[in-house]
Amino acid sequence: MIYRVKPGDTLYKIAQRFDTTVQELTQLNQLENINYLEVGQILIVPKKYDFDGDSYRFDNKIANGLLLVAFSNKYIYQPGEEVVFTLVKVNMTNKPITSNYSTEQRFDLSTGYGQQQWIWSAGRSFNQVIKEITLQPEESQVYTVVWQQNDNKGRQVDTGFHNIEIWNVANEMVTER
């Protein structure tokens, strides 16, 4: 979950409000100074999930000032049921971030447990278009992907837990000073 810091907030107060710890907030947000928060700053707050079919956040990371959060539309699926993944990119800095892409592809996502079973971009073609995309502070982009629970050869994957990984495919990223 994403939380915007309000006047009077401290990490301790935020941790208590969302049933987490200062240590978890510090680690999740890669904070260097736990005593300094800016009003309006965006923080990742771990959401406590019940596994009754609500959305489930499975991966988040901060890379080059971009927060990447991925989640699925629910936690447990029947074999062959569509899995809907959503990826959100958020500029966590107070400066614009420009991402340079050499194709129309903006992200990738893979599944597997021990070895990669499926990668979203496999078998897809992307126009070779050089493009710069700039996200202003706190601006975001949202992408949605559907997985049919098949591997890259079209075979149904085994039931069980699957490791999900997401990443931005920009060639380089620049935080404007």
Q: What is the CATH number of the domain that holds 71?
A: 2.60.40.2360
Same domain, 80 and 128: yes
Domain coverage including residue 39: 1-48
Same domain, 82 and 39: no
Same domain, 9 and 91: no
Same domain, 122 and 36: no
Can you give the pLDDT at residue 53?
Answer: 42
What pLDDT band is residue 173 in, cutting at 50, 70 and 90? Answer: low
User: Per-residue pLDDT averaged across 82-94, rounded?
Assistant: 86
Same domain, 129 and 163: yes
CB-based contacts of 78, cutoff 8 Å, min separation 6: none
Same domain, 34 and 56: no
What tens digit of pLDDT does each residue of 138-149 get?
Answer: 888 888 889 999
Burial of 97 (0-12, 13-18, 19+ CB in 10 A): buried
- The residue among 150 and 162 whose pLDDT is bigger is 150
Can you give the pLDDT at residue 50?
Answer: 37
What tens digit of pLDDT does each residue of 36-79 get?
Answer: 898 888 888 876 543 334 445 556 777 788 888 887 877 778 88
Same domain, 57 and 108: yes
Same domain, 9 and 72: no
What pLDDT band is residue 100 in, cutting at 50, 70 and 90? Answer: very high
Same domain, 33 and 76: no
Can you give the pLDDT at residue 176?
Answer: 54
CB-based contacts of 19, cutoff 8 Å, min separation 6: 48
* Tally of domains in the chain: 2
Can you give the pLDDT at residue 170?
Answer: 87
11: CATH: 3.10.350.10
Can you give the pLDDT at residue 175?
Answer: 61
What pLDDT band is residue 90 in, cutting at 50, 70 and 90? Answer: confident
Same domain, 84 and 158: yes
Same domain, 68 and 152: yes
User: What does the radius of gyration of the chain's CA atoms come to, in whole angstroms?
Assistant: 18
